[in-house]
Chains A and B, each alone.
Chain A
Amino acid sequence: MLAYIIRRLLYAIPILVGVNLLTFTLFFVVNSPEDMAVSQLGQKYVTPEAIQAWKRKNGYDLPLFYNPQADGAGAVTETIFFSKSLKLFVFDFGRSESGRDITTDVSTRMWPSLAVALPTFVVGIWVNICVALLVVMFHATRLDRWAVFVFVALMSISYLFYIIGGQYLVAKTWKLVPISGFNMESQPWKFLILPVLVGVIAGIGSGARWYRTLFLEEANQDYVRTARAKGASEIRILFRHILPNALIPILTGVVVLIPSLFMGSLLIESFFGIPGLGSYMLDAINAQDFAIVRSMVFIGSILYIIGLILTDISYTWADPRLRLD
């Protein structure tokens, strides 16, 4: 098992290198620092001096890969590639183009993100499983067919409408909670309820429909027939036989998302004014702050890879057939 995990970790290295090279190509080779300076400064103020000054301020005045002017190791280290890309590997994200320290920003902003994303995730899975179980109990009846239709209809509504509708109804019309904002210290639940509720409801359509298929797939297995032949009741079969088996693909399917919860949700956070990483990214995109985007890409891929490794581990943990002895 340990050897397996170590191997997976080793596999992660070339992937991170790949991500790094890709972002580097995108941000510095395809799009030169000059272009960036022009778009940051605005067409009006573009003079060669201004561009130079902007590049120096942000550390983009160095050569891309090799610096012939510097001596010794500096020929490699005093380059954009080293200072902007390689340093990501030691979690040194540097400063954003507006001059803020990215590492501090990330470490303070990930907790509000988690405060929204984690409850949404846990409650969401629980609600979806319950809804799906309820529907499966009525399998092959009119209720089941209508439920599937409702699921598909729920899936067909854009996430934006869930948020806008939730804010309009719950916060504006019924005035139950504040429309947006966030305060970690006093009554954070007041600000969290609506985003979590919206997140959960928006996920019911696709989630419950998927789980229903998983349950039905299990319901067609031979062992279910065996259980019926034993004289077990339908409810017992559902809870004692189908559910434990279907939980394996459910759990292993969602594990990959757990690390990414730190990243938060772009839309939810920006609509509800939650100062998490999601709104951080959105602000960076709108301000065309590529330093932040670069760092978030790197963090995101690390979290995804951790998720992949956790998925593999959870498989062997959840499914006795795959348990490594």
Chain B
Amino acid sequence: MKPLLLWSDILIYLLVVALCLFFLQLRRDPQTREHWRRVFSSRLGMVTCTLIMAYVGIALLDSLHFRRALDPVTGGGGEIYYDNKVTSVLDVMLAGMGERFERTYSAPFALQSFEKQDKKDEHGVAYRDFPLLEHAGRHLQAPADRWPDVLGKSLEALLLGLVLSAAVIGLQWYCLRGSALPWSASWLTQAGVICVGVWLVSISRYYHVLGTDLGGADVAYQSIKGVRTGVLLGTLSTLIMLPIAVSLGVMAGYFKGWVDDVVQYLYTTLSSIPGILLIAASVLLFQVYIDLHPDYFSIGLEKADARFIALCFILGVTSWSSLCRLIRAETLKISQLGYVQAAHAFGVSNSRILLRHVVPNVSHIILITFVLDFSALVLAEAILSYIGVGIDPNMASWGNMINGARSELSREPAVWWTLSGAFLFMFGLVLSANLFSDLVRDAFDPRSAAGSGTP
């Protein structure tokens, strides 16, 4: 076994560390702490945050990659060769869910393939029928046993899930006694996530819960693998965009004059270009670069990863203008306030005023943008993949799943499960992110807290 560090793995773990430090820093400030308390004192906040954490957890587990050692070749001199296929810790936890391939489409919980195949009976007569699936229902005595079997196995899994949840929740309950926050909402969600997870993993050993796609891959597995792509794209792009937007916006609003003119010119120019075209052009250009330099990447996944990071960069670099505008406006307001004026009167240097007085006081805008942009980026990924300038087709992503399956609804009967898989997982993430970002905005944005009056 040999660990493999993809660039995106490194970035995501750096990001997690950075975010932890950022939140620790924020915790020092009682006002910020009060805002967070408001977010989490609602049950909705707890539920959505738990769900997001579940998604992030899946993404992080899926970001620990390694290559399996192949069995030593006899007489090979003891040298170990590694599998070209990259495995992640998540794959191990899913217990081989991704290795049970069929020939082509099959419906959820089906025992037979979706398409007929030429066969010969024992007398050598050719006929066409639906072939049995290789990895579904093989343990059944008769096809009629399927649903009772599913039910039994589900109950078994549910029991295991409940036991597991009880252990996890019990531990938290012990640690969090006396907390005023509505932890019970979070615990219910956790129990739900754990039960569904356990059920999915255990039942997938016997059936394809969400069917299989054109290439015969398990749709549920594909959907889970798409989580990493979605979460990483949403966070990395914002992270790349933040330093550009914050530094330019703060400087424009603080120094005014020609600095302001230049920054305004830059973002007006950038936002005047139709975003989708700019992104498409940049991605295509990068793809040309990859194609012309195949020797830079030793395995296919590295190539896909390079394209993925490039996409994050391009999305980040092309999308800073709106945040920059907000921060510039807020900085203009802050530099008129008494405390910046007083700092001037104390002869505090410009850089120190920016770092100590301005940046901390625009941080709520940064935070709100971060949570707000996240879901937009996850949605954008699907559209970009559809256009053909998104994630590399070899990388699992919801956009690629939709793209591959969009025309299959017109078949008779319709192949609906691939779309449903992508839809379910994507909707879950985006909805919880959107609801959570609403709460964050209400708590942190003084205007919306006073203005909207939502209970």
Contact = CB atoms under 8 A, between A and B. Distances in A.
Direct contact of A and B (CB under 8 A): yes
B247 interface: no
A160 B382 contact: yes
26 contacts: A14-B265, A22-B269, A39-B288, A43-B291, A140-B455, A145-B454, A149-B435, A156-B379, A158-B423, A158-B426, A158-B430, A160-B386, A160-B406, A161-B419, A168-B414, A217-B452, A219-B453, A220-B450, A285-B277, A285-B284, A285-B387, A296-B274, A297-B274, A300-B273, A301-B274, A305-B272
B382 A19 contact: no
A164 B409 contact: yes
Contacts of B426: 158
Contacts of B433: 156
Nearest to A260: B274
Interface string A287-300: 01010010011001
Given A15-B269, A152-B438, A297 B281 contact: yes
B292 A22 contact: no
Contacts of A153: 431
B394 to A, nearest CB: 18
Nearest to B432: A156
Nearest to B280: A285
Contacts of B297: none
Given A38-B291, A161-B419, 16 more contacts: A26-B282, A27-B281, A140-B455, A158-B379, A158-B402, A168-B414, A179-B410, A213-B452, A266-B387, A267-B386, A281-B277, A285-B277, A285-B388, A293-B277, A296-B277, A297-B281
A30 interface: yes
Contact of A216 (B427, B435, B453): B453
Grouping DSSP codes into helix (H, G, I), strand (E, B) and loop, the A interface class, with mixed when no group exceeds half, is: helix
Given A18-B269, A152-B438, A38 B281 contact: no
Contacts of B438: 152
A200 to B, nearest CB: 18
A304 B272 contact: yes
Given A15-B268, A145-B455, A297-B273, A156 B375 contact: yes
Nearest to A168: B409
Given A14-B265, A164-B406, A285-B388, A159 B277 contact: no
B288 A35 contact: yes
Contacts of A19: 269, 272-273
Interface residues of A, number: 57
A104 interface: no
B75 interface: no
B285 A152 contact: no
A125 interface: no
A248 interface: no
B339 to A, nearest CB: 27
A26 B273 contact: no
A159 B383 contact: yes
Nearest to B386: A160
Q: Which of A27, A149, A164, A296 has the most CB of B within 10 A?
A: A164
A296 B423 CA distance: 32
B195 interface: no
A216 B450 CA distance: 11
Interface of A: 14-15, 18-19, 22-23, 26-27, 30-31, 35-36, 38-39, 43, 139-140, 145, 148-149, 152-153, 155-161, 164, 167-168, 172, 179, 213, 216-217, 219-220, 260, 263, 266-267, 281-282, 285-286, 288, 290, 293, 296-297, 300-301, 304-305, 308
A7 to B, nearest CB: 14
B274 A31 contact: no
A34 to B, nearest CB: 9
B41 interface: no
A293 B280 contact: yes
A22 B276 CA distance: 15
Given A152-B434, A213-B452, A267-B383, A164 B274 contact: no
Contacts of A155: 434
B406 A159 contact: no
B448 interface: yes
Contact of B281 (A18, A161, A293): A293
Contacts of A23: 273, 281
B278 interface: yes
B389 interface: yes
Nearest to A18: B269
A301 B270 CA distance: 9
Contacts of B406: 160, 164
Pairs of residues from A and B, 5 with the lowest C-beta to C-beta distance, nearest first: A300-B274, A301-B272, A18-B269, A156-B431, A156-B430
A213 B271 contact: no
B320 to A, nearest CB: 15
B71 to A, nearest CB: 35
B43 to A, nearest CB: 13
A164 B423 CA distance: 11
B423 A161 contact: yes
Contacts of A22: 269, 273
Contacts of A43: 291
A148 B431 CA distance: 12
A286 B281 contact: no
A138 to B, nearest CB: 13
Contacts of B277: 281, 285, 293, 296-297, 300
Contacts of A148: 454
Nearest to B403: A160
A315 to B, nearest CB: 16
